[in-house]
Chain A
Amino acid sequence: MSQVRRGDEHLTMSRATERRGGALRVAASASLALAAALLAGCSSPTDTFESAVGQGLAAVETARLVVEQELDDRTFTTTAVATLGDARRELVDASTSVAETDAPSQTDAALRAEVLDALDAGLDAVNGARDAIGGVGSLEAVVPKLEAAADDLDALERATAGAAADMLADTMGDAPDGGTG
């Protein structure tokens, strides 16, 4: 039996124990596709409103807290400015997510308008605070604005939570609870 001589190609361990180098399994992208489907899936408008209101409320409360600290001289102005900047960004984020939501019903449309208004009021107040720290306007005057915006958002939070609960009850076939908030 003649063997093909391959010149000076020596035997190496890798060739002696060679396995077919398989193509990498693409199970990963299959599960990624599934994940994308899950994500793209279901969040109702009420869910979006609820989370946006929560986001806005957190931002307005943060602003209120840091403004009080600034008035009390318990924080650095630089820190307060950074905090207000973060709060403002959250409010803009929340507004955008609400503004881009479709309203499949009249109630949803009305709710959306209310939420946008409340978030706008919050944004206005936070901007006022930021301006006041920069020297435009008075910081004390901003406090009641922040409080009002917070109260509105708080009420809305209970309303949207109630609406979401009603929706959930509807989809599960139970009779909705007798009203909330």
Chain B
Amino acid sequence: MKKLFAVALGILTAIGGFVDIGDLVTNAVVGSRFGLGLAWVVLVGVVGICVYAQMSGRVAAVSGRATFEIIRERLGPRAGLANLAASFLINLLTVTAEIGGVALALQLATSVDPMWWIPVAAFGVWIVVWRAKFELLENVTGLLGLTLIVFAVALFLLAPDWGSLAGQALQPSVPDGEPVATYWFYAVALFGAAMTPYEVFFFSSGAVEEKWTVKDIGKSRLNVLVGFPLGGLLSIAIAGCAAVVLLPAAIEVTSLSQVVLPVAEAGGKIALAFAIVGILAATFGAALETTLSSGYTLAQYFGWSWGKFRKPAKAARFHLAMIIGILIAVGILATGVDPILVTEYSVVFSAVALPLTYLPILIIANDREYMGDHVNGRVMNAVAQVYLVIILAAALAAIPLLIVTGAGA
């Protein structure tokens, strides 16, 4: 019974933890402009992250080494440095977006300007990373993030034309008034939002910290394979709500307040309350994960002592790096930049950084020195290689599309 509870907890936190500010915003924007015409990208992204999260978990469990340590060892310091710089900067951008997201969610609840909430949110993230029971908070934010299911409920309550929605999803087409390049730009953005690199760093570092062994691989596989797809369905529900309420009203999503409009429309204050709580939990949880990921990448590259289970005095540079990261994020947000804009850039640049993270994982997962008999099977390798091609295509297309479409304007 206890084991069942633990399994359920794992799956539920994976679902709630899948959605972050990038998913929320990008799916809502896409739904309000393209309907469900990009739902297939979410599916592709979910399968991709399942494949790679599971691979990096296995690598961590078998080799006892976290992703970035292996990147440094296998690629050498030069390539590793390029990898570090790109991953760290993009991670930092994501931290900024998530903290901004927390502030925006708090504004929805209190109508106090987000600028006031930013230092509060940043402090909250730091204090958890510094002292609080991380395990507990991860479970709390994961479970509270489940309230985002209200988006799926709202979609049903809105009684949409399911046939037309299905048509949009199964026969994607670019609507009039939107250029084809913009459609593909958002495809790349949605892909980057689903396959966030920080997820992999966080996952593998956590596996090393918790000293996963081969036996734990099965449990993690279950969490990933059940949790992430359900999280993907949530993402599609967010897009669906936007498609049903916002698209016909010509409301293109540019702020978080518009993301929750369909929920209030469908279910009134109660539904809205669930949505706001869910958004708060999801973004805060993601802020914790990305902050830790930034610490992990730096510490693992330079060989510092790291870990959220070590006392800070024993992992001093790791914690200092995270403090500086949070301060930089606050600095960026303090300039008054729109957190939604930061989010949109963070998902696009995440797509650019994907090959840097995933290629090394794929290489190591095939390396017998690290993996022994647990190297990738042929099917897994085939799938992973197909995804590598997709990832490379998305990464190469991202910046040109960003420029040509003016960030999807």
Direct A–B contact in complex, judged by CB atoms less than 8 Å apart: yes
- Report B268 CB to chain A, min CB distance, Å: 4
When A35-B403, A39-B403, A161-B177 are in contact, do A62 and B269 touch as well, CB less than 8 Å?
A: no
Residues of B within 8 A of A51 (CB): 409
- Report B348 CB to chain A, min CB distance, Å: 14
Contacting pair B261 A65 (CB below 8 A): yes
- Report A98 CB to chain B, min CB distance, Å: 15
The DSSP consensus for interface residues of chain B is: helix
Question: Is B252 an interface residue, CB under 8 A from the partner?
Answer: yes
Contacting pair A76 B272 (CB below 8 A): yes
- Report B159 CB to chain A, min CB distance, Å: 16
Contacting pair A57 B250 (CB below 8 A): yes
Contacting pair A65 B406 (CB below 8 A): no
When A38-B403, A38-B404, A86-B258 are in contact, do A69 and B250 touch as well, CB less than 8 Å?
A: no
Contacting pair B251 A86 (CB below 8 A): no
Closest to B249 in A: A61
Give the total number of A-B pairs whose CB atoms are below 8 A apart.
81
| Residues 232-272 of B contacting A (Cβ, < 8 Å) | 245, 249-252, 254-255, 257-258, 260-261, 264-265, 268-269, 272
Question: Is B173 an interface residue, CB under 8 A from the partner?
Answer: no
Question: Is B110 an interface residue, CB under 8 A from the partner?
Answer: yes
Contacting pair B264 A54 (CB below 8 A): no
Contacting pair B406 A39 (CB below 8 A): yes
- Name the contact of A79 in the complex, choosing from B250, B254, B260 (C-beta under 8 A): B260
- What mask results when residues 127 to 165 of chain A are scored 1 for a CB within 8 Å of chain B, else 0? 000000000000000000000000000100100010000
- Name the contact of B250 in the complex, choosing from A35, A61, A66 (C-beta under 8 A): A61
Binding site for A on B (CB under 8 A): 107-111, 177, 245, 249-252, 254-255, 257-258, 260-261, 264-265, 268-269, 272-273, 276, 403-404, 406, 409
- Across the A-B interface, give the 10 residue pairs with the lowest CB-CB distance, nearest first: A83-B257, A78-B111, A86-B255, A74-B268, A81-B111, A75-B264, A61-B249, A58-B251, A58-B252, A35-B403
* A–B Cβ pairs within 8 angstroms, 30 of them: A39-B403, A54-B250, A54-B252, A57-B250, A58-B254, A61-B250, A61-B251, A62-B251, A62-B257, A62-B258, A65-B245, A65-B265, A69-B261, A74-B268, A74-B272, A75-B264, A75-B269, A76-B109, A76-B269, A78-B108, A78-B109, A78-B111, A79-B111, A79-B264, A82-B107, A83-B255, A83-B258, A86-B258, A90-B255, A161-B177
